[in-house]
Structure 1
Amino acid sequence: MNLILWRHAEAEDIAASDLARQLTTRGRKQAQNVARWLRARLPDDAVILASPAARTIQTAEALTDQYRVVREIAPNASVDAVLAAAGWPEGIASTVVVIGHQPTLGEVAARLLSTEETRRSWAMKKAGVFWIKSRERNGDGEAVLLAAITPDLV
Structure 2
Amino acid sequence: MNLILWRHAEAEEVAATDLGRALTTRGRKQAQNVAKWLRTRLPDDAVILASPAVRTIQTAETLSDQYRVVRELAPNASARDVLDAAGWPNGIAETVVIVGHQPTLGHVAAKLLGDSDASWPLKKAGLWWIASRERNGDEQAVLRAAMTPDLV
**Please, what TM-score do these two structures have when normalized by structure 2?**
0.99
C-alpha separation in 1, matches of 2:3 and 2:26? 26
Q: Residues of 2 paired with 1:112 and 1:42: CA distance?
A: 21
Unaligned runs of 5+ in 1: none
Structure 1 position 109, deviation (Å): 0.2
Q: For 1:32-111, list aligned pairs within 5 A.
A: 32-111=32-111
Question: What is the alpha-carbon distance in structure 2 between the residues aligned to residue 27 and residue 123 of structure 1?
Answer: 18
| 1:88-114 residue CA offsets vs partner (Å, 9 max, x unmatched) | 000000000000000000000000000
- The alignment partner of 1:97 has SS state of strand
How far apart, CA to CA, are the structure 2 residues paired with 1:68 and 1:135? Answer: 26
Counterpart selection for 2:128 from 113, 130, 133: 130
Q: Deviations over 1:36-85 (max 9, x none)?
A: 00000000000000000000000000000000000000000011000000
Partner of 1:24: 24
The Cα shift of 1:86 comes to: 0.2
SS at match of 1:63: coil
Code of the residue aligned with 1:144 in structure 2: it is V
Q: Which residue of 1 aligns with 2:118?
A: 120
- For this pair of structures, how many residues does the alignment match? 152
2:4 is matched with 4
Residue of structure 1 equivalent to 2:141: 143
SS in 1 for 2:58: helix
- The alignment-based identity, stated in percent, is 77
Tell me how large the CA RMSD over aligned residues is.
0.6
Which AA in structure 2 matches 1:129? L
Q: Which amino acid aligns with 1:59?
A: T
Alignment partners' CA distance in 1, 2:106 and 2:78: 11
1:115: Cα distance to partner? 3.2
Query: Could you say what secondary structure the match of 2:141 adopts?
Result: strand
For 1:38, give the aligned amino acid: L
